Amino acid sequence: MKYEVLIDGTLHKVELEQKGGTWNCKVDGEEMVLDVAVTAHDILSVLDGAKQWEIKREYSLLGETHLIVGSERFAAEVRDPRSLRSRRAVSEGAAGPAKIVAPMPGKVVRIVVPQDELVEAGQGVVVVEAMKMQNEIKSPKKGIVKKIAVKEGDTVNAGDVLAVIE
């Protein structure tokens, strides 16, 4: 199987061939023979020769996959090169209006910039309270607030759209 894997935004080409617990791998042209033991559904013990890595997988509240190697955390995105559809979906996300999403669950306490007004990149648009802290959720870019998707007092989940900037 061939994969393209983005690790913290850097592309790596990976080939895998599994024989039981042994995986013949090629990463960016370099070959590795790994002994992989699954110790829990999201935890691997990987032996590269005698070098041992504990590698964990988890998902951020926003649905990104993270891999933890030792104590280092990496954002990971796996693409199958044969699946063009998934690649197109990724490129579409980059253009168009920017959505501001809640980074954590909480309660909307204030709308700082109302609809149809101009915001600067980095300016706070909505204030969400969680764990006794008020958090200004900022605009990723300069533009017009096209839509405010929440009102004061609303409870939101991580990943919920708060506003759209155009």
Angle in degrees, CA 115, 120, 126, rounded to 5? 50
Q: Which is nearer to other proteins, 89 or 114 (CB)?
A: 89
Q: How far is the CB of 147 from other proteins (least distance, A)?
A: 20
Q: How far is the CB of 116 from other proteins (least distance, A)?
A: 27
DSSP assignment string, 75-117: EEEEE-TT-HHHHHHHHHHHSSSEEEE-SS-EEEEEESS-TT-
The site for other proteins (CB under 8 A) is made up of 1, 3, 5, 7-8, 10, 12, 14, 16, 18, 23, 25, 27-28, 30, 32, 34, 36, 38, 40-44, 46, 48, 53, 55-65, 67-74, 76-78, 80, 83, 103-107, 130-133, 135, 155, 157-159
What does the alpha-carbon distance between residue 53 and residue 71 come to, in Å, rounded to a whole number?
A: 10
Q: Which is nearer to other proteins, 74 or 144 (CB)?
A: 74
Where would I find the H helices in the chain? 84-94
